[in-house]
Structures are given as structure tokens and as C-alpha cells.
């Protein structure tokens, strides 16, 4: 992504989502699929910056009650159509992550998949919102790229400060119980947007219950 892309994220992503296909496919992200068993049917999950809806629609199909938002109205319109086609309800909103209402302690889960549009200042605000909107005992499932992805260029922003390391995530989620944190490489086939050898990182972190 270029600096212009970050100056006008809604315009940039609306253009990227304008084609008929799904930029990241319609199947859910692999790390999310692998770890979605942390949530039980009927629980309430928020999908952050869900784009064209592949993750929120799949989570709704697993029986979860799903809220999702994204800044790009073109993406959200496609997500609504995908949900209708697959016969599930998702409560979608077109929203910037800084203006999303972020209810306190409301969600059993948050799915944050490839939200590396956030520079360090925005990321700090975004991660604080994510930590706070989880109920005590609620779980975050997050996937992103590590700086090694700069050599692959198969997806994600080409700006090192947007990428995650284990140390960065460990510090950001120090007050949660981290149940999985893994840097790894894989060959992604998530639409044309995330395709090929990729340097990935995945996190699963549970908000602590209040001490009695
Ligand atoms: C790499 S895509 C990932 C989409 C989706 N999470 C997925 O895995 O398919 C990044 C998404 O972030 C959204 N986005 C960018 N800036 C945003 C912001 N400030 N607030 C909310 N969404 C934003 C884009 O519209 C895009 O859908």
C-alpha cells in the first residue's frame, strides 16, 4: 500500500473491492478457521474491518451472532450480498475503526484478520478498543504479517511499522492470557489479494476475568 492509500482508505478500498470477484476470496482466513472453536454457537463476535465479509459470514454460519464493520461501503455491500446468498444474518456497518461505537465488555470474541492498515498510533487505539470490548473471558483471534513479509510482497502493507512481531503483540496484549502466539510461514491462497509464500503471525488472547 502507498501513502495515498492510507490518506484515503475508504476510496482506496472501495476501488479495490469494485471488481465482481472477492479480493480475498469467500472462504475464511485459515488462522481464524483453525481457532474459531474458542467460541460456542450463540456467542457474540465482532469482526473488525471485515472487508467483503468472508470471515463474518463464515462465523455466522458456525452459529455465532456476528457484528462486523468496515470503512469501505463497496466491500460492506458485497458482504451483505454474501450473507444473503449464504442465508445468514450479520449485523454489518460501514464505519471507520476510530468512530465505531465499541461497546464495553460486550463481545465473547473479536476476529481481527489483516487489519494492518493501522499505523502505530492508530494501532494503539484500535488494540485498546479491542481489549475493552471483550467480555472478561472473551477471546481475540488475530492474524497479520511479520516484517519478513517485506521480502515476499504477497499481501499486506509494505511499511514495516504496520507489521507485527511476537514482542509487539506480547506487549500490546500483556494484560490478557495469550493462549497462542505463533510466527510462521505458509503458502496462502486467499483470493488474489493474499496469495503465495507469506510471513504470518497469529495470536489468540483471552481477556482476564476480574479477580474475585
Ligand atoms: C487487508 S483488508 C482485510 C479485510 C478482511 N479483514 C479480510 O480478512 O478479508 C483490510 C480492510 O481494512 C479496511 N480498513 C482500512 N482502513 C480502515 C479503517 N480506518 N477503519 C475500518 N476499516 C478499515 C479496508 O476497507 C479493508 O477491508
Q: What is the DSSP string of 89-123?
A: --EEEE--TTTS---TT-EEEEEEES-TT--HHHH
Q: What is the position in ligand 1's atom list of the atom closest to the CA of 48? A: 6
Res 3 pLDDT > 60: no
pLDDT for 5 equals: 66
| Cα torsion 105, 106, 109, 110: sign | negative
Asked if residue 110 has its Cβ within 6 Å of ligand 1, the reply is no
Average pLDDT, the chain: 95
In the reported structure, the alpha carbon of residue 212 is separated from the centroid of ligand 1 by a whole-number distance in angstroms of 38
The helix/strand/coil state of 29 is coil
Q: What is the position in ligand 1's atom list of the atom closest to the CA of 72? A: 25
Q: What is the position in ligand 1's atom list of the atom closest to the CA of 23? A: 9
Which residues lie across from 47 on neighbouring strands?
68, 111
The Cα angle at residue 76 between residues 75 and 77, in degrees rounded to 5 = 90
pLDDT digits (tens, 9 = 90+) for 104-113: 999 999 999 9
In the reported structure, the alpha carbon of residue 211 is separated from the centroid of ligand 1 by a whole-number distance in angstroms of 35
pLDDT for 7 equals: 83
Taking the CA atoms of residue 159, residue 59, residue 207 and residue 97 in that order, the dihedral angle to the nearest 10 degrees is: 40
Q: Take atom 3 of ligand 1 and give the residue whose Cα is closest.
A: 114
Res 143 pLDDT > 80: yes
By the 8 A CB rule, do 117 and 51 touch?
Answer: no
pLDDT digits (tens, 9 = 90+) for 61-89: 999 999 999 999 999 999 999 999 999 99
Asked if residue 12 has its Cβ within 6 Å of ligand 1, the reply is no
In the reported structure, the alpha carbon of residue 117 is separated from the centroid of ligand 1 by a whole-number distance in angstroms of 7
pLDDT digits (tens, 9 = 90+) for 50-61: 999 999 999 999
In the reported structure, the alpha carbon of residue 41 is separated from the centroid of ligand 1 by a whole-number distance in angstroms of 25
By the 8 A CB rule, do 46 and 103 touch?
Answer: no
pLDDT digits (tens, 9 = 90+) for 165-190: 999 999 999 999 999 999 999 999 99
Res 95 pLDDT > 70: yes
Amino acid at each position: 500500500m502507498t501513502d495515498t492509500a492510507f490518506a484515503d482508505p475508504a476510496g482506496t478500498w472501495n476501488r479495490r473491492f469494485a471488481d465482481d470477484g472477492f479480493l480475498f476470496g469467500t472462504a475464511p482466513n485459515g488462522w481464524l478457521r483453525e481457532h474459531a472453536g474458542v467460541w460456542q454457537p450463540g456467542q457474540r463476535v465482532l469482526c473488525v474491518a471485515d472487508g467483503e465479509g468472508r470471515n463474518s459470514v463464515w462465523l455466522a454460519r458456525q452459529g455465532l451472532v456476528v457484528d462486523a464493520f468496515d470503512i469501505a461501503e463497496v466491500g460492506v455491500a458485497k458482504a451483505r450480498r454474501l450473507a444473503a446468498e449464504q442465508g445468514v444474518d450479520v449485523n454489518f456497518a460501514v464505519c471507520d475503526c476510530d468512530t465505531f461505537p465499541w461497546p464495553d465488555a460486550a463481545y465473547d470474541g473479536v476476529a481481527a484478520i489483516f487489519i494492518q492498515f493501522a499505523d502505530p498510533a492508530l494501532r494503539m487505539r484500535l488494540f485498546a478498543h479491542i481489549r475493552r470490548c471483550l467480555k472478561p473471558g472473551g477471546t481475540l483471534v488475530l492474524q497479520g504479517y511479520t516484517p519478513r513479509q517485506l521480502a515476499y510482497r504477497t499481501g499486506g502493507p509494505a511499511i514495516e511499522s504496520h507489521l507485527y512481531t511476537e514482542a509487539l503483540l506480547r506487549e500490546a496484549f500483556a494484560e490478557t492470557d495469550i493462549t497462542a502466539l505463533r510466527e510462521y510461514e505458509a503458502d496462502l491462497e486467499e483470493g488474489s489479494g493474499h496469495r503465495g509464500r507469506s510471513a504470518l503471525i497469529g495470536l489468540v488472547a483471552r481477556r482476564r476475568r476480574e479477580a474475585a
